[in-house]
Amino acid sequence: MSEEDDERQELEEGSDENKENLDDSRAESSMTNSTFLTSGRIHNEKADVEEDGTLDLANLSLTNLERNFKEEYGKVKRLLINGNCIQKFTYTKLFPKCEIIDAQDCQINKFISDFNMNLFELYLSRNQLKEINQMGRFENLIHLDLSSNLIEDLVILSLKSLEILNLSSNFLVELPDLSKCKSLRSLNLAENKIKDLTKLPTLISPTTLRKFDISSNSISDLSQFSTLSSFKKLEEVALARNPCINDVVSEEKFDYRSYIVACCSETLTLIDEEAIDETVQTEGEWLAMEGKIKKIEPGNHEILCEQLTQHFPKADSGPPTPAQKTCHKALQKKRSLREESDDTDRTANSVYSPFREWNGKLGTLKTPGDSGNRKTQPVRNNIRMCSPPEARRNKSFTFQGNSPSKFVDALQLQKSTSTSSTETVICSARTELSFTTIDGRSQSTPLPIIDSTKPESPSNRRTPSVADVSYVSDETEDLKTRVKYLEQKVNELNKQNENLTAINDGLVETLESFKAEQSQMWKAIRSMIPTPQNLTNSFVCENEDGHHVHQVKWEMPLVKGYRIFVDGNQCGQIIGKNNSARITDLSANETHFVQIQPIGNNGEPGNLSKKLHINP
């Protein structure tokens, strides 16, 4: 149906509705709930548009919308008509500024739309729609809900701005063609009758899809889900309650989620609305790295199940397989590294951690054991290591006879010892430490307690506390070694790249040669396509316009089809199962000639037949 026919039909319907409204007003029908009953039809009596542009006509048992409120309808941005009985929706032209239409549960079986550039969201779930041919007129539509309808024909949409599409609970047997919906992020095809996913990457744009629901369909081949590998941004996928998934779950041979993780990208976080646990993630990564599983193409369900059962059977199926052992070790390594990382974070943020003291007091001084600077660093007499809280309440030491600076100078003359990568510092309750560097080596020297008070008895003496002090060693040489190794690898890769380039050039030359041979082959095949023979003509009848109808027959081996030429002009293409065709609208007073051109099974046309003359 053309657009002009749609508009003409809409005007006729509008005039019919206005006529009915006039007759009903004369009859002074009773009014209830802002509606009036007219010959079995219920219209809205008024259109109260709220300040935010919402027109709420939901759940009023309306069968039609009154068309005499064009001024009010022009202000509507959000139309709510859900829960009514509007079987035929032809009102989009009345709401030019509408951005959201909610027409759920309205028994709509036909949706006739006009071009609308402002509509962003359209909700038509739980209706009786069988086709959606005119949805392409909403070029800026973002959200489209067509769930729980009666759609069974092939769906083709070209909405460039569409992000969310819900086609669940319909009767689709094929995947919809959404290749031109370049912004699609969420697609719900649950509860349909789809059996084949092999064309999924070509029918749905793989660059934007993040959420895909294909659950409760008729997919019996688990290997078809390998097509999900094309969707690099997929985050959520639902595929439960398909025959292949039901069989795997009931037999309990392996966990199908590991295979889905192997097929999808690293962005996948949910499978069948459940978060992917560490075990499934690790098994999926192993399958992806192993490579053989991903090479199993659609149509090999049994082979795939055997491979998955061989690598990752259920835990109670016997001793662990080599793949399970490898994944178990990898999982333990992950957990240990995570625990070490957590321990490091807790140590660095501890109140007893030396890192706070070093950052706050050492400043630019090197940490203990740092070999980056071999020169003697001046000692700051206000540096001390952290000790337990009770140590801070004790008195600090005092110097008798000498000043603190002279005592430190005397300590610098003592012989130092080398430090290791980890130093154990004993922070006594009444002892403070001073760090110094002698002969290029770090030295930790406890300062003696010099006090005039009497020492405490052994029973009252405080117990020292011990803490490990970790520091960052000088890794310059290690980094140089790594850089040198990487440079060597880069040189090797450059050589390999040169070899690959040469191989690629050879492949290109081979391809060009193959194309030339293919062209010659097609010419040879085209010459082998037979030519129709023994053409005959028979008069059938004369139509109302006075033109003759003739039937032409010929003899020909079975081919894909035929092109019919009348007076040298192609009139059409037929299958010609019985080697015959009917030609109409031939001038009764003129002589015509007919030629037949066969179409081979490869799509190539053959030679034209001899001319068959048709006399008046």
**CA–CA separation, 313 and 299 (whole Å):** 22
Please check the confidence at residue 389 and state whether its pLDDT lies above 70.
no
Q: In this structure, are 540 and 599 located in the same domain?
A: yes
Is the pLDDT at 213 greater than 80? The verdict is yes
What percentage of the chain exceeds 70 in pLDDT? 70
Sign of the alpha-carbon torsion through 310, 312, 313, 318: positive
The burial of 486, by beta-carbon neighbours within 10 Å (0-12 exposed, 13-18 middle, 19 or more buried), is given as exposed
**Residue entry with tokens 């321990």:** 343
* Residue that the structure tokens 């595929």 belong to: 239
Considering the domain architecture, whether residues 447 and 360 belong to the same structural domain is answered as: yes
H/E run at residue 422: strand 422-427
Quickly state the pLDDT bin for 531 (edges 50, 70, 90): confident
Q: Is position 433 within any domain?
A: yes
Kindly provide the b/e burial profile for residues 189-208, where b requires at least 16 CB atoms within 10 angstroms of the residue's own CB: bbbbebbebbebeebbbbeb
The DSSP-derived string for 464-527 is PEEEEEE-PPP-HHHHHHHHHHHHHHHHHHHHHHHHHHHHHHHHHHHHHHHHHHHHHHHHHHHH
| Three-state secondary-structure class, residue 400 | coil
Compute the distance between CA of residue 124 and CA of residue 106 in angstroms, rounded to an integer: 8
Which of the four pLDDT bands, split at 50, 70 and 90, describes residue 516?
confident
Q: Does residue 93 sit within a domain?
A: no
Residue 490, in any domain of the structure: yes
Mean pLDDT value across residues 512-529:
80
Q: How confident is the model at residue 268 (pLDDT cuts 50, 70, 90)?
A: very high
Together in a domain, 603 and 495: no
What pTM value is reported for the model? 0.53
Average pLDDT rounded to a whole number, residues 558-564? 82
Question: Contact, 614 vs 591, CB < 8 A?
Answer: yes
pLDDT of residue 512: 86
Give the SS3 label for residue 44. Answer: strand
From the list 169, 246, 234, the residue with the least C-alpha distance to 204 is 234
pLDDT at 370 over 80: no
pLDDT reported for residue 460 = 57
Residue 414, domain member (yes or no): yes
* 493, 509, 528 - which closes a domain: 528
Determine contact, residues 271/311, Cβ cutoff 8 Å.
Answer: no
How far is CA 196 from its chain centroid?
19
Give the number of other Cβ atoms within 10 Å of residue 209's Cβ.
Answer: 23
DSSP letter string over 225-264? GGGGGG-TT--EEE-TTSHHHHHHHHHTSB-HHHHHHHHS
Predicted confidence (pLDDT) per residue in 73-110, tens digit:
999 999 999 999 998 988 888 899 999 999 999 999 98
Please check whether residue 402 lies inside any domain of the structure.
yes
Number of domains in the chain: 3
What does the CA dihedral 71, 74, 77, 78 come to, rounded to 10 degrees? 60
Regarding whether 481 and 423 lie in a shared domain, the answer is: no
Residue carrying the six token digits 């996928």? 237
Residues 606 and 556 in one domain: yes
* Domain identity same for 515 and 465: no
Q: What is the pLDDT of residue 535?
A: 83
Range(s) of the domain holding residue 374: 354-452+461-471
Q: Which among 528, 546, 573 is the end of a domain?
A: 528
Half-sphere exposure of 232 (CA within 13 A, CB side): 1
pLDDT band at 495, cuts 50/70/90? confident
Distances (CA, A) of 329 to 266, 279, 293, 326: 21, 11, 21, 5
- Using the predicted structure, report yes or no on whether residue 43 has a pLDDT greater than 60: yes
pLDDT at 398: 43
Q: Is residue 486 part of a domain?
A: yes
Top pLDDT among 187 and 296 is at 187
Residues 467 and 492 reside in one and the same domain: no
Q: Is the pLDDT at 125 greater than 60, yes or no?
A: yes
Q: What is the mean pLDDT of the chain?
A: 76
378 found inside a domain: yes
Q: List the structure tokens of 208.
A: 């934007």
CB 464 within 8 A of CB 449: no
Asked whether residue 293 carries a pLDDT value surpassing 70, the answer given is yes
Distances (CA, A) of 128 to 79, 86, 119, 174, 191: 20, 11, 22, 19, 16
Same-domain check for residues 505 and 583: no
Dist CA 125 CA 190 (whole Å): 14
Same domain, 412 and 389: yes
CA dist., res. 590 & res. 152, Å (int): 48
Q: Which of these three, 511, 528, 545, is where a domain ends? A: 528
The pLDDT tens digits for 166-202 are: 999 999 999 999 999 999 999 999 999 999 999 999 9
Asked, for residue 391, whether it belongs to a domain, the answer is yes
Name which of 267, 320, 263 is nearest 290 in CA terms: 263
Q: Do residue 377 and residue 437 come from a single domain?
A: yes
511 in the same domain as 424? no
Looking at the fold, whether 515 and 550 belong to one and the same domain comes out as no
Q: Is the pLDDT of residue 348 over 70?
A: no
Q: Indicate if the alpha-carbon torsion angle 432, 433, 434, 438 is positive or negative.
A: positive
pLDDT value of residue 129: 92
Comparison of pLDDT for 219 and 455, the residue scoring more: 219
CATH (domain of 581) = 2.60.40.10
pLDDT at residue 463 in the model: 65
3-state secondary structure of 368: coil
